Structure 1
Amino acid sequence: MDAQQYLTEIKSRLVASPVVETFSIVEDRDLNDRGYFRARVTLTNADFLEIAEYFIIIDDQPQPDRYRYQWMDGTQKILRRRWDNVPHFPDLPSFPHHVHVNAEDNVQSSRPRGITEFLAFLEAEILPEH
């Protein structure tokens, strides 16, 4: 898989996802062995999601290099969760991967996920019977 194929896969997942109402692509870049994707998403429950991922292709597989997935309520004022890997919580066992839960200062360990895997996780959260 190259960067263009991964970008196409991300867009296809957004179109097909049962929790995505609408989305707008802010930026996508194909640099052959790496790339970037950023979009704003309205979810079917009226929540807001902003996703951004710099990725690299290693052994034909996309790997998240830097990412931020921010899930907020529909007013974009209340944080539900934000996953990122900015290296500012070195004491976490999963450093630098972490998630802010319901507040900026409530930080927990997390693991890296690409956008397509993150969307599957989000679908399970919003549609538990799915």
Structure 2
Amino acid sequence: MLHSALAEYLDRVEQALMGLENVYVERYVEEILTPQRATLRIRIRFVQGYLLELNEAIVVEADVLLWLDYRYHCQDEQNCLIFRYDSTPHFPNLPTFPPHKHLPDEVIASQKPDVAEVLQEAVIYGLNR
């Protein structure tokens, strides 16, 4: 049986996606590896043409959700980066290392955002176009 914290989180992500308008979910893969571990791979296309991909590897330890890895990548219809949050350890000089955020012209320190915040950031991008 899936750990309740993991089940609740996956349900919250699904509910957040269902609340979006003017999007098409191209891919939604929820892979349950063990009762305490899952991976999530989601690809969302916005009607304006831009794309958001969400990738997470999640584990429950001591009843707490931990992200082993994550990547939230948003790009426009010409495949140009809008933003990407990830945990790849390749910017050791940033104060939040390893988490960081890629922008079109720079990489900045950033903690891991909540998926709802990432979805909101992508929606706001579309509203401001």
Could you state the TM-score of these two structures normalised by the residue count of structure 1?
0.79
CA distance in 2, matches of 1:59, 1:24: 34
Partner of 1:112: 112
Is 2:44–2:51's contact at 8 Å kept on the other side of the alignment? Answer: yes
Unaligned runs of 5+ in 2: none
Partner of 1:94: 96
**Highest relative contact order (Cα 8 Å, sep 6+), 1 or 2?**
1
Q: Give the letter aligned to residue 119 of structure 1.
A: L
Which deviates the most, 112-121 or 65-74? Answer: 112-121
The count of aligned residue pairs is 124
Unaligned runs of 5+ in 1: none
CA distance in 1, matches of 2:65, 2:122: 19
Deviations 1:16-61 (A, max 9, x none): 124x511133521122212110011012433111110111234545
CA distance in 2, matches of 1:78, 1:17: 23
| Correspondent of 2:17 among 14, 18, 34 | 14
Q: Give the letter aligned to residue 65 of structure 1.
A: L
Is 1:64–1:112's contact at 8 Å kept on the other side of the alignment? Answer: no
CA distance in 2, matches of 1:79, 1:50: 12
User: Does residue 39 of structure 2 align to residue 36 of structure 1?
Assistant: yes
User: Does residue 50 of structure 2 align to residue 47 of structure 1?
Assistant: yes
Is 1:72–1:78's contact at 8 Å kept on the other side of the alignment? Answer: yes
RMSD between superposed Cα atoms in Å: 2.3
CA distance in 1, matches of 2:118, 2:112: 9
| Correspondent of 1:72 among 64, 72, 75 | 75
